[in-house]
Amino acid sequence: MTHAGPLVATLVVGLALAFAFGLGARMLRLPPLLGYIVAGIVVGPYTPGFVADPAITAALAEIGVALLLFAVGLHFRARDLLAVWRIALPGALAQVAFGTALGGAVGALAFGLGWTGAIIFGLALAISSTAVSTRALDERGRLGGEAGRIALGWLVVQDLVVVLALVLLPGLADVEESGDLASALAGTMVQLLAFLAAMAVGGRVLLPRIMAHVAATGSRELFTLAVIVTALGTAFGSSALFGVSPALGAFFAGVLLGESPLGHQAAADTVPLQRVFVALFFVSIGGLVDPGAILALPGASMATLVATLLGTGGAILGLLLALRVPLPAAATVAGAMAQIGEFSLLLAQLGITAGLLAVETRGPLLAAVTVTILTTPLMQVLADRLALWRAGARRVNAWQKRHGHARLSRPPPQGLEDHAILIGHGRVGRIVAQALQRHRQPYVVIEADHAAAEALRRAGVSVVWGDATRAEVLHAARPETARMIVLAMPEAAGCRRVLDLARAANPAIIAAARAHDDEEAAFLEREQGMGLVVMGEREIALGMADFAMTRLGVSAEDSQRTVEELRIGR
């Protein structure tokens, strides 16, 4: 009788518990990552029952970290920062510096950390959770407004600081061993420059060409496999050849691939695998936590929590007001970002692995992550009440009027405003595109066939290659600013999925779709807000009927009325 090995047992039990506790957290309207951490505590060595293999869990977690940073690179857009750089760049850098100093002081006093450990601990307390912050703003409908733009730019700067920290971690570890700061950092910079040179040649020249050839085969499975190999292969190669963090290698691979026309589909294809392994990363973090250690250090845990709230939420609010951002927007951003999350745990874990951070810091840090994420809704409520505090608002407004309110830069134009989105450029989509071209109406095509998409791109047509039923691909066509979406797809289920995604981004978007039979047409016509459903055979029959009636003497007006009645089934 065969038994499952430790790898299978760790995967099955870890993912099953992550699902169960993640679902429970979501039902309580909490982020699933809290459930993943609880699952890790359950399978950890400090609780009774099944204990996951720590070596296997750590290896799976490393894959999760690489995929997480790869996804961050794929979605990194300089324009998100350029739109608010006058606020986000100085503000985020000042906030991270303040939060790092405050958290470092707590680390030194509560845990007796040296200067390197204190910096890493403080930095972990100064980085907000991108996932939690954006979700908090989105759920309140503020992600697309002024507060959302500021928060996105602020988070981009924080992410770049994390990337820089990942670069310097190996050098700091060498300093701890040798005590020679200059030579250790010089060695790290040489390795980094060699890595960047290799990425500049291989990433900018070879990678897009190889991926384009794979996409041209028409095999979605091969393209997905190529994306995963790119992410994990770059992560492994950067560590083995250049001594650079695997997470950093994966991040740069994502940035380079994200700049290519293939980036949107690459992001869509990696999302499921990324979510699975990121869940395992949080399970691995939970497995390292000793609940008794947290309870044994109540003072350190409370000091860590206070430093987090002051170094993120409090510092963000104060700096935004100092940068002359109106109080309502400043309070909204601060309330949504007053927490730490995935990157804080990543930095701490890498610091502990490198021997730069004491193991005892893990418990209080995890307590701060959990409590601040749990209290994010409360922070938003308090922020809203602060924005309505009339006496305070009058003083802030009076001060800001004397110095002038901050002005956000306009995002760089992308040429996609009040446009039509054509899903597919086959026999139907091509004719619609020709009609729009003749009248100089702006449009963008989403085409699943790579060869067809490349031909359109060479012809000067704005085109996105990929599967429009994937949110990442459709988002590239900017449905939030579009006026119309034309669903020239062959199946009704796909049309419905695309329409749901488009309506989520823009409830007022006008929709038109094609259908192959009466059942499909009825299915689509039941969709709320569907402007037009065209069934090919029915339109052919109606055209022939119109021709027959007019040639047999029926007036054009009566013929058209009959056609319309037949079209709607009367």
Write out the DSSP string of 262-299: THHHHHHHHHHHHHHHHHHHHHHHHHT--HHHHHH-HH
Phi, psi of 463 (to 5 degrees): -140, 145
The domain that contains 137 carries what CATH number?
A: 1.20.1530.20
Q: Is 266:234 a contact under the CB 8 Å cutoff? A: no
Question: For residue 561, what are its two tokens?
Answer: 């009325």
How many Å apart are CA 95 and CA 151, to the nearest integer?
13
Phi, psi of 404 (to 5 degrees): 90, 135
How many Å apart are CA 470 and CA 265, to the nearest integer?
8
Question: For residue 462, what are its two tokens?
Answer: 């704005």
Strands across the sheet with 530-535, in order?
463-465, 443-447, 420-423, 484-487, 510-515, 530-535
pTM of the model: 0.68
pLDDT at 175: 60
If asked whether residues 453 and 371 sit together in one domain, one would say no
Q: Is 482:418 a contact under the CB 8 Å cutoff? A: yes
Question: For residue 317, what are its two tokens?
Answer: 């609010």
Average pLDDT taken over every residue of the chain: 79
How many Å apart are CA 117 and CA 104, to the nearest integer?
8
pLDDT at 1: 42
Weakly modelled stretches of the chain, pLDDT under 70:
1-4, 76-83, 138-139, 143-144, 170-188, 387, 389-416, 492, 516-531, 567-570
How many Å apart are CA 489 and CA 512, to the nearest integer?
11
Which helix (H) or strand (E) segment holds residue 535: the answer is: strand 530-535
544: domain range? 420-567
The domain that contains 431 carries what CATH number?
A: 3.40.50.720
Question: For residue 148, what are its two tokens?
Answer: 């959302």
If asked whether residues 441 and 486 sit together in one domain, one would say yes
If asked whether residues 555 and 487 sit together in one domain, one would say yes
If asked whether residues 236 and 349 sit together in one domain, one would say yes
Q: Is residue 332 part of a domain?
A: yes
Q: Residue 263's closest CA among 480, 66, 77?
A: 77
Q: Is 16:283 a contact under the CB 8 Å cutoff? A: no
Bridge partners of 420, per DSSP, are: 443, 484
DSSP tag of 202: I
Looking from the CA of 361 toward its CB, the CA atoms found within 13 Å total: 33
If asked whether residues 352 and 482 sit together in one domain, one would say no
Say how many domains are in the chain.
2
If asked whether residues 375 and 513 sit together in one domain, one would say no
If asked whether residues 430 and 501 sit together in one domain, one would say yes
If asked whether residues 135 and 202 sit together in one domain, one would say yes
pLDDT at 412: 47
Which helix (H) or strand (E) segment holds residue 444: the answer is: strand 443-447
Phi, psi of 486 (to 5 degrees): -110, 115
How many Å apart are CA 163 and CA 425, to the nearest integer?
40
Domain end, chosen from 346, 371, 387, is at 387
If asked whether residues 380 and 428 sit together in one domain, one would say no
Rounded to a whole number of angstroms, the CA Rg of the chain reads: 27
Q: Is residue 91 part of a domain?
A: yes
